[in-house]
Amino acid sequence: MTPIPLAVTARAAALRLAVSGALYHLPRPLGWKLVTPGQPARQGCCMTAVLMLDELRPATAYRLHVEGMDEIAFRTSDCAAAVIPERMIDAAAHDDLSAARHNAAQIAAAIAALRVGGTLILPPGDWLTAPLALKSDMTLHLAEGAVIRAPSDRSGWPILPARDEAGQMLGSWEGLPENCFAAGVHAINATRLVIEGSGVIDGSGDLGDWWTWPKETREGARRPRGLHLVGCRDVTLLGFTIRNAPSWTIHPQGCDRLLAAGLRIEAPHDSPNTDGFNPEMCRDVTLEGIRFSVGDDCIAVKAGKRGPEGEADHLAETRNVCVRHCLMERGHGGLVIGSEMSGGVHEVTIEDCEMVGTDRGLRIKTRRGRGGEVSGIAMRRITMTGVQTAISVNAHYHCDPDGHADWVQNRAPAEVNERTPRIHGITVEDVTLDGLAHAAGSFLGLPESPIADVRIRRLRIGSLDPDAIAAPPDMADRVRPMRHENLLAEQAELDCDDASLLSPAQITLE
């Protein structure tokens, strides 16, 4: 076995340790040594399947030795130039808007001066700064001990308009074009952008009033994200921690070819709508070795939402999302698809991951009126511990103001048209459940568009939560409370290799 490079930049590298049985954690810790001529060797012990190496030297040859694995040689890339912003004010001494604006101006000047392929280095310190806009062909390197912290006061905070002059969606909210406050760190139409290092991006959602108006518009805008990437290409995110986002934590919107590895994504368990990573209308997204502990869904794969009058000109599909060796702690769902999926979500794979204490494991949610198609979803080699419902596929999700309307929740067949969602092609293999509370799986389809082609193999229920209290596994009307149920299906086609897991019980209350 040889470590597999995921990304190598001028100062950082992420490698997958492809050990048999590795999930987020390795079966056992492995020692490693990094050697380069003329420099002291670096040593450490890795406990996770993705090994992050930071503070490397540009244009330098390295050899990595990992216990029990073949040696691998790699070379860091060149760096056109490295710039450290001048005359920054540490927030520890100046925790106010004037410091935030001063620092933002210094960083913006440094970014503007960067040559193509250059690196902006944020040194150790607590750097309060107004929202930062990144650009193409640059690296933002967050040194160990560096914190970029957004101000809690939104006075003068920039607002992204719903669309630009060409009609491209910029600001958004739950899949629709809407004005939103700019994220603390954001980029629009950037290519070959890298954000790396072992520092921290802090959105200050726990300060001010961001979390007190989760579904409102204030001062003409919706809440900002923690990191918002709009229309970007070839983006690499490595090693940093991002926490306390005012709403969704990392939101790639309309992006292609994005890799995120070795991140930590954090928010308090009771913070509203602080999803961890939400790729929306994106293609070719890879997430590896990320640890999530958030207040909403850990990963929510989305594809926009039709407007109230059927508006669809902003929609595009999401395709080819791969999630490996991640840890999802708490959160409403581990890997979630929807409920904004009107553009279509295809080819999403999650494998070799751990979920601990999430409400649900794999969750797909939509409703009449959304349209769109979900297909090619695969979950393989997953352990779930203390997860209430392992698999939830719900086509009667009661979102939006009309979510409880009869035309949304009625179990009689409705007309099939462009607003009818379709779900098919789900594979679940080698999943182990311990401490199961509500149901191993609940599949609630539409009578006019049943859930089709669901294949379940080697699903094992190791233990049940003895303290579980019966509750509905799906957010839909007339779903009965459940406790310690197996696999239930209504308007859904299930093929399971263990017939004893297929329950004859009903999902919907009579």
C-alpha of 135 from chain center: 22
Could you tell me the two tokens for 159? 């607002």
CA neighbours closer than 13 Å in the CB half-sphere of residue 422:
13
CA gap 376, 223 in Å, rounded: 32
Could you tell me the two tokens for 54? 């930071």
Cis-peptide, bond into residue 449, ω within 30° of zero: no
Q: Does the active-site annotation cover 296?
A: yes
Length of the chain: 510
Find, among 150, 147, 138, the residue nearest to 113 by Cα: 138
Could you tell me the two tokens for 237? 């995110």
Set 332, 396, 398, 438: catalytic member: 332
Q: Summarize the chain as % helix, strand, coil (round to 5).
A: 5, 45, 50
Find, among 398, 428, 399, the residue nearest to 410 by Cα: 398
Q: Does the active-site annotation cover 206?
A: no
Cβ within 8 Å of residue 296, ≥6 positions away: 271, 272, 273, 274, 275, 276, 331, 332
CA gap 126, 90 in Å, rounded: 6
Set 54, 296, 297, 352: catalytic member: 296
CA gap 174, 180 in Å, rounded: 11
Rg from Cα positions in the chain: 23
Counting Cβ atoms within 10 Å, is residue 64 exposed (0-12), middle (13-18) or buried (19+)? buried
**Residue positions annotated with a catalytic role:** 296, 332
